[in-house]
């Protein structure tokens, strides 16, 4: 006979530091990103002091993208990585900017069209847990600062593995666990006291940026995420700590 406590544990999930019914998380996360979409890029620059651009450049460099390839920029938001991929794959390649949130996709589409990037980019509203693409389709998948918001991360990683070609690679860029005690303490102070104030002043939304800080703390650390990728079928999984482990870039291959 099953234990009622076990069943309850299976039916709830974290939303920041809260425990909520699992079926509510997607809706709650959607509300966060609908709220911040218009100010998302501005806040990224301010809260990371512009360093997010270096993290994303490192991600692109490790993708080893070539002309003509098919790339999935998952949870791609406002399209920072898609813009870089579009130029790298050229006219014969294809980049799909996918996000579960239509507000973020609209901002991304508008920004990329303003840059004149229209010929090799498609836009798809998609849930990472059930990607609407054929098996063995993409040469490379990236998910940048999006995995922590997914309800079932293990299911999403398996879905990514399915749509990658043999020889393809997945890169996960995500906030992680700082590797030094003093940095970790300073990061906590910044995250829980400064970020919500910035969110209130810039985006008129302190709660969403409080959730951001909490969701980072609830996300699997470097080694745990590496193991999750291995469990999903990826091989040769390695991670690279950046800015003292505030962010980690994981890369795995489908053999």
Provide the annotated binding site.
Answer: 78, 99, 127-128, 144
Binding-site members for S-adenosyl-L-methionine are 78, 99, 127-128, 144
């995250």: which residue's tokens? 191
Cα within 13 Å of Cα(92), Cβ side: 5
**Rounded distance, CA 145 to CA 113, Å?**
23
Answer whether 92's CB lies under 8 Å from 69's CB.
no
Could you tell me the sign of the dihedral formed by the alpha carbons of 115, 120, 125, 128, in that order? negative
121-125: strand order across its sheet:
121-125, 94-99, 70-74, 138-144, 164-175, 247-253, 235-242
Show Cβ contacts of residue 58 under 8 Å, excluding neighbours closer than 6 positions.
240, 242, 249
Nearest Cα neighbor of 196 from 213, 215, 176, 180 is 213
Nearest Cα neighbor of 98 from 108, 112, 84 is 108
- Cβ neighbours around 186 below 10 Å, total: 13
Answer whether 199's CB lies under 8 Å from 210's CB.
yes
**Rounded distance, CA 31 to CA 201, Å?**
19
């Amino acid at each position: 006979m099953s234990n009622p406590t076990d069943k309850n544990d299976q039916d709830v999930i974290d939303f920041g530091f809260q425990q909520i019914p699992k079926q509510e998380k997607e809706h709650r996360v959607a509300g966060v990103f609908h709220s911040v979409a218009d100010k998302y890029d501005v806040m990224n620059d301010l809260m990371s002091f512009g360093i997010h651009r270096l993290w994303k450049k490192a991600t692109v460099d490790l993708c080893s993208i070539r002309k003509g390839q098919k790339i999935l920029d998952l949870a791609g938001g406002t399209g920072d990585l898609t813009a870089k991929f579009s130029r790298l794959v050229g006219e014969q390649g294809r980049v799909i900017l996918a996000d579960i949130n239509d507000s973020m996709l609209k901002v991304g589409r508008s920004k990329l069209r303003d840059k004149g990037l229209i010929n090799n980019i498609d836009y798809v509203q998609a849930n990472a847990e059930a990607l609407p693409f054929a098996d063995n389709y993409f040469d490379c998948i990236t998910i940048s600062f999006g995995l922590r918001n997914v309800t079932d991360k293990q299911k999403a990683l398996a879905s990514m593995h399915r749509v990658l070609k043999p020889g393809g690679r997945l890169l996960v860029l995500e906030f992680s666990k700082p590797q030094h005690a003093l940095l970790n303490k300073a990061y906590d102070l910044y995250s829980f006291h400064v970020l919500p104030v910035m969110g209130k002043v810039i985006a008129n939304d302190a709660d969403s940026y409080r959730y951001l800080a909490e969701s980072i703390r609830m996300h699997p650390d470097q080694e745990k995420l590496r193991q999750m990728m291995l469990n999903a079928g990826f091989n040769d999984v390695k991670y690279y700590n950046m800015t003292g482990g505030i962010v980690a870039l994981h890369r795995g291959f489908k053999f």
